[in-house]
Amino acid sequence: MPDTDILTISAAIDKLVIKSKSVALPPELISRLDDLFSQLKINSHSEGTFWTFYQSTAKYIDWVVSLPWNTQSDDILDTRHTQEKLDENHYGLQDVKQRIIEYVSVLSLQKTRHPDIPFRAPIFLFVGLVGTGKTTMARSIADCLNRQLIRIPFGGLGDPLYLRGQSRLHPEAEPGALIRGLATAATRNPVILLDEIDRVADDALNTIMGVLVELLDPEQNARFTDHYLDYPFDLSQAFFVATCNNTSRIATAVLDRLEIIQMPSYTDEEKLNIGKSYLLPRAIKEAGFNQGELTVVESVWPSIIRPLGFDAGVRTLKRNIEGLCRKTAALILSGQKQVVVDESNVKKYLPQW
């Protein structure tokens, strides 16, 4: 092998060694990386196999150094702040909000009075029909605590490797959704949303429930091992939140580890308040309207709330309001100064089925 090639290979290995030392890693993992570098040096005598092994090793190092082994965000443990944030994002749901405030209160006391004792957060399971605020409540928890949110969708999930990653023996292997999410969040104490855990594929239900047991068990999740990473990562600082429409397909072993919180359906009166006080102002702001460019007359709200009859959640209401704003935006851009939605024209602004 020419001397220039040897120098190139040596420089490439040195580059990986320097990158691996750019973050503080667990001692055992450092030892494993040293073994990898030794293997690279052995393979350096065969240029054909070296670069293939180098690329897979470089990819692995990139993932290792991107993970928040020691980094975490500072919690905001102020119950008044929590109440304000929850009220800002959700109408009603006082029982649900109270459970979250109680958790923040306990965490605040524990960190103040017994910081040396590990605190095991409850794992909330929000159960309710579509559109009742399960996912947005999880986002609000992250917002209240000043934590990053990792959302992992379970709808239609048919392969547990999506969660646990593939072995590096596979050429296209990469970490599972949890490790990828942690790398993106750049903090080891995020809120991890396990969304729609009752909607996994039938043929993978048992294996995925097995992964969930490991994830949600505080005795096990402190050493969660992704197949690609092949080294335990501590998930004990994360706050897990799960959602489902109903609990009938969820394994008992999983339910035993969850604190079930029912998300009630909304009445028409509650939807009216949500639409007027939350959804419409937010949609107007996102559309960039000036004050007074869109007015919705009080009498048309029943048509916006119930275009096709009863709906337990507010997704249809949200879509109707967003559609109304889009039509208004088109009219304003065409030269109309103001749009007033009333009984004479409301049907023009609602979806036609």
Distance CA 338, CA 266 (A): 32
Q: What are phi and psi of 182, to 5 degrees?
A: -65, -40
Tell me the average pLDDT across 90-96: 89
Tell me the average pLDDT across 137-143: 95
Tell me the average pLDDT across 45-64: 83
Share of the chain above pLDDT 90, in %: 67
Q: Do the beta carbons of residue 143 and residue 89 sit within 8 Å?
A: yes
Q: Mean of the per-residue pLDDT values for the chain? A: 89
pLDDT in tens, 159-194: 999 999 999 988 889 999 999 999 999 999 999 999
pLDDT at 131 over 90: no
pLDDT confidence of residue 2: 43
pLDDT band at 268; cut points 50, 70, 90: confident
Pick 268-349's CATH classification: 3.40.50.300, 1.10.8.60, 1.10.260.40, 1.10.1740.10.
1.10.8.60
Residue whose C-alpha is closest to residue 178's, from 188, 56, 99, 45: 188
Beta-carbon neighbour count of residue 332 at 10 Å?
18
pLDDT in tens, 231-261: 999 999 999 999 999 999 999 999 999 999 9
pLDDT band at 53; cut points 50, 70, 90: confident
pLDDT in tens, 192-222: 999 999 999 999 999 999 999 999 998 889 9
Distance CA 47, CA 190 (A): 42
pLDDT at 4 over 50: no
Domain residue ranges of the chain, discontinuous segments joined by +: 3-66, 79-262, 268-349
Taking domain 79-262, whether its CATH number is 3.40.50.300 is answered by: yes
Distance CA 145, CA 140 (A): 9
